[in-house]
Amino acid sequence: MSFIWDWINNTRPPLIAPELVSNLRDAKRVVVLTGAGISAESGVPTFREAQTGIWAEYNPEELATPYAFEKNPWRVWEWYTWRREMIEKKDPNDGHYALTEMQRRLLDQNAQFTLITQNIDGLHKMAGSKDVLELHGNIFRSRCTDLDCDEIVEYKDLKPTETPPPRCHKCNGMLRPDVVWFGEALPLDDLHKAMAASQKCDLFFSIGTSTLIQPAASLPIMALDADAVVVEINPIETLITKRVTYPIQGKAGNILPKLVAGTWD
């Protein structure tokens, strides 16, 4: 029976094409876009996964909106507290660390590297990645809702209050999570940097994202339109799978360490 397995293994294309390894080794401008899927192996539920406990009946896309916060600031704040307390117990996984190593190696060879994430969990920074563009904000930061106040408060500096949301220590305004809700504009400076890098790169990775959320989902398309080599790493097909150069069906925590080791070790 082993000759059949040998035949299958020898004829099955390698998960990571040798040409991709040389693309990465010779790359001059690399962009990586990550979504909730890269944190899945850290135990952080992806955005589309069913919620659990008291939040099971809620749809994230209905809670992550300015309208939901205006209507019931307490409930939205409690939802973020529940997520924050769950996320702070999680650690970066091998996929995050592989991207940190990829950034180090590329900078060593004077290439440019831009890491863009839709995630708000802070795990890329925790894994050592530098200059991360957090397009949707960060769950460990809060900001004042008073239009004349620009106070940002780190989670560790929050003063607990009997009835959430906590108040701003500068103007006593209500604090909100410093994340981008549906219907809100992304941080313009970071978005412009992300778009410029995607339009100029020679190699673009789309990792762990369903490519459904705009405007982040347009970034891989910008790279494709600029004739970049585009790699997708996702266990399932997405809207861009048929268009990318290298569709790699797999988990980020498994594929990325192999790719980095195969390129530089």
**From the list ligand BV8, Zn ion, none, which binds 231 (C-beta under 5 to 8 Å, kind-based)?**
none
Q: Which CB atom, from 22 or from 52, has the smaller least distance to ligand BV8?
A: 52
Shortest distance in whole angstroms from residue 175 CB to Zn ion? 8
- Whose CA is closest to 19, among 256, 246, 249? 246
Give 235's DSSP letter: S
Q: Which residues are catalytic?
A: 136
Pairwise CA distance, residues 247 & 228, whole Å:
14
Task: Report the phi/psi class of residue 176: left, alpha or beta, with left for phi > 0 and alpha for psi in -120 to 50.
Answer: beta
Residue 16 buriedness (CB in 10 A; 0-12 / 13-18 / 19+): buried
Output the six-digit token pair for 201.
């790169």
Q: Note the residues at the interface with ligand BV8 (CB under 6 A).
A: 35-37, 40-41, 46-48, 64, 118-120, 136, 179-185, 208-210, 212-215, 233-236, 238, 251-253
Cβ nearer to Zn ion, comparing 15 with 158? 158
With CB cut-offs between 5 and 8 Å by kind, which of ligand BV8, Zn ion, none does residue 235 bind? ligand BV8
- Is residue 194 within 8 Å of residue 220, measured between CB atoms? no
Residue 109 CB, nearest approach to ligand BV8 (Å):
26
* Nearest-approach distance from CB 159 to Zn ion, in angstroms: 13
Is 176 in a helix, a strand, or coil?
A: strand
Distance from C-alpha of 108 to C-alpha of 191, rounded to nearest angstrom: 26
Pick 28 or 170: Cβ nearer Zn ion:
170
Q: Which residue is nearest to ligand BV8 (CB)?
A: 37
Residues that bind Zn ion (CB under 5 A): 144, 146, 149, 151, 168, 170-171, 173
Q: Which is nearer to Zn ion, 60 or 173 (CB)?
A: 173
For residue 46, what are the CA distances in angstroms to 35, 36, 129, 234? 8, 5, 21, 13
Nearest approach in angstroms of CB 239 to ligand BV8 is 10
- Rounded to the nearest whole angstrom, what is the least distance from the CB of residue 168 to ligand BV8 in the complex? 21
Q: Which is nearer to ligand BV8, 235 or 262 (CB)?
A: 235
Gyration radius of the chain's alpha carbons:
20
Cα angle value 231/234/236 (rounded, 5°): 125
DSSP state of 240: T
